[in-house]
Amino acid sequence: MHGTEPRPVDPPGFVGGTLDRVDHIRSSPALLADCFADPAARRVVLEGLEPVVSEGQLLLEPLERQARVEDHVLLGVDPAGRPIFARLIGALAKPVGATARSRGLAGQVSAADMALYGTARSLLHWHGRHGYCAVCGGVTQPMKAGWARKCEGCEAEHFPRTDPVVIMLAQHGGRILLGRQHAFPPGRYSALAGFVEPGETIEEAVARELFEEAGVRVHSVRYVTSQPWPFPSSLMIACTAQADDDALTLDVNEIEDAFWCDADGVRAAMNGDPDAPFLAPPRMAVAWHLLDHWLSQVADPMLVPPGASA
């Protein structure tokens, strides 16, 4: 289908937050107490770390009279002026990854609600995994409205972590490099990705990961967009890069397969064509939006929207 109107594209999942993070309140016990006592204050309802949806919205509830501020984190203040909290969870013995329920939140609620859940999940997961000090091993307690923890022994302060991850498309001769991890569903291919290491720039991480995983040397790295990924606490940094050549040497411990795909193949996959050369990543993933961006740069960007006829 070709048309004159641009195709609307929702943001990646967990992008589009509307909370004011009110750092001045986090740092003031008196202001925090006022927020917690506000009759308009609401708490995000979770089952463990799983979202609860009601009538197309992330479920919020009033704070009960006996609730204690020290058992909660202040996520921020919403556009209606309501303080939004989340209840701290118990200790987690191991990291908890994404589930079908948490991934399935996309399409059920607004972008703002997705971002709210992502913030709550990342922060609560961090608290559940950081009950002890990394310096002396002592017990830590929440502080700063849940945006830090302090050791009872050595008084070291600890702050929530965000792990930067580069996710990138190498380009060569009008094609892009796609790969699949061993755990992907059958047929799924996506952009290659990897964690940024200490002492690296984003550009250096892109070049290193593409060479390590696929043996591809690149230059001219360009930033495209980003996405918080709360499973548990990554920031996906989407980029493109130009490859020197198209020879591949795969690290099969990291990726199962990789191939160069042209625009027609990418377009077919993103339109869900049964004869497409690969299964595209879901629309909530930043990889989908990176592919969409690449198509808009190299060819007619008009894809068939869901439910439309070609």
Q: Sign of the C-alpha dihedral, residues 161, 121, 15, 258?
A: positive
Is pLDDT of 6 > 70?
no
**Angle at CA of residue 110, ends 306 and 145, nearest 5°:** 150
Give this prediction's pTM.
Answer: 0.91
**Angle at CA of residue 68, ends 66 and 74, nearest 5°:** 130
- Segment 207-221, tens digit of pLDDT: 999 999 999 999 999
148-179 burial, b at 16+ Cβ within 10 Å, e below that, comes to bbbbeeeeeebebeeeebbbbbbbbeebbbbb
Q: In which residue ranges of the chain is CATH 3.90.79.10 found?
A: 163-298
Average pLDDT score over residue span 220-235? 97
Confidence of residue 193 (pLDDT cuts 50, 70, 90): very high
Is pLDDT of 245 > 50?
yes
**Angle at CA of residue 84, ends 82 and 88, nearest 5°:** 160
Q: What is the DSSP string of 99-147?
A: -HHHHTTBTTB-HHHHHHHHHHHHHHHHHHH-SB-TTT--BEEEEGGGT
> Which pLDDT score is estimated for 9?
66
- Segment 265-302, tens digit of pLDDT: 999 999 999 999 999 999 999 999 999 999 999 854 44
Question: Could you tell me if 59 and 45 are in contact, meaning their C-beta atoms sit under 8 angstroms apart?
Answer: yes
According to DSSP, the residues that pair with 140 across neighbouring strands are 151
Q: What percent of the chain has pLDDT over 70?
A: 93
User: Which region among 14-28, 133-147, 289-303 has the lowest average model confidence (pLDDT)?
Assistant: 289-303
d(CA 160, CA 233): 9
> Which pLDDT score is estimated for 94?
83
According to DSSP, the residues that pair with 154 across neighbouring strands are none
Average pLDDT score over residue span 241-249? 98
Task: Quote the mean pLDDT of the chain.
Answer: 93
Q: What is the DSSP string of 60-91?
A: EEEPPTT--GGGEEEEEE-TTS-EEEEE----
Could you tell me how many residues make up the chain? 310
Superfamily grouping for domain 163-298: Nucleoside Triphosphate Pyrophosphohydrolase (3.90.79.10)
> Which pLDDT score is estimated for 299?
56
d(CA 253, CA 43): 43
Using N-to-C axis directions, what is the helix angle for 263-270 and 286-298, rounded to 10°? 140
